[in-house]
Amino acid sequence: MFTGLVEGRGSVLRVEEGPDGARLWIVPTFPWPDPALGESIAVNGVCLTAAVWKEGTFSVDVSPETLARSTLGRLKPRQPVNLERALRLSDRLGGHLVTGHVDGLGTVTGKLPTGKFIRFSISFPESLTFYILEKGSIAVDGVSLTVNQVREREFDLMIIPHTAAQTTLLDKKIGDPVNLETDLIGKYVVHFLKRSRDEKTGEESRITAEFLTRHGFFR
């Protein structure tokens, strides 16, 4: 489990492709005390396991499923990535609960400096429509952010200077893909509502998406 508060950037050292996935070698560019084999690390928002630590470099194995559902299959040597170590139960939860399981790919459609901030617009697949709402949380390449506005199949974010300096978001260009993970709690609510009938009585549930929209839970 993660918070979406990226600890720093890393750099891809090399990519080893194979028939059963890929192995990435990554160098953190910030202090990394007590590296541990088997620890969970979010790489651009994807939860992976450190298989090897060697001279300040770690490797992670990426399955074909993860390569297909995320941007990790597009990584090249010397490309920067966002890194976050797993959450300790004693840590402050400064962002929001992030699992590192990507829900879908978005595309950067707008990038506009606004004073000292940067407004990003990102399109998203139709399958995520019910999970993205105004003032809700979303992880973009592993970065915990707040949705400012939602339009049909597109949402806006405001990036503060600290986030721009600490992550790879400033490097993104129009048309670049990004990993999207929607709010964990929201996903459970939506999946609960999709069970349209009570399993015991067979009656239609009175709690529907229309009901929640009418009472201000959805927009």
The pLDDT of residue 94 is 87
For residue 137, list its beta bridge partners.
Answer: 146
The pLDDT of residue 190 is 78
Q: List, as one string, the DSSP characters of 150-216.
A: EETTEEEEEE-HHHHHHSSGGG--TT-EEEEEE-HHHHHHHHHHT--B-TTT-PBPS--HHHHHHTT
Domain boundaries, the chain: 8-85, 104-189
Per-residue pLDDT of the chain (219 residues; tens, 9 = 90+): 999 999 999 999 999 998 899 999 999 999 999 999 999 999 999 999 999 999 999 999 999 999 999 999 999 999 999 999 999 888 888 889 999 999 999 999 999 999 999 999 999 999 999 899 999 999 999 999 999 999 999 999 999 999 999 999 999 999 999 999 999 988 888 777 766 555 555 566 666 667 767 766 666
Question: What is the CATH number that goes with domain 104-189?
Answer: 2.40.30.20
The pLDDT of residue 199 is 56
Contact 2, 101 (CB under 8 A): no
Identical fold, 8-85 and 104-189:
yes
Among candidate residues 24, 140, 143, the one with its CA nearest the CA of residue 75: 24
For residue 53, list its beta bridge partners.
Answer: 58
The pLDDT of residue 210 is 72
| Cα 136 to Cα 131: distance, rounded to the nearest angstrom | 9
Q: How many separate helices (H) and strands (E) can be counted in the chain? A: 4, 13
Class of the domain covering 8-85: mainly beta
* Location of structure tokens 């402050």: 92
Predicted TM-score of the model (pTM): 0.88
Q: Is 69 helix (H, G, I), strand (E, B) or coil?
A: helix
The pLDDT of residue 162 is 96
Q: What is the DSSP letter of 34?
A: S
The pLDDT of residue 203 is 61
The pLDDT of residue 4 is 95
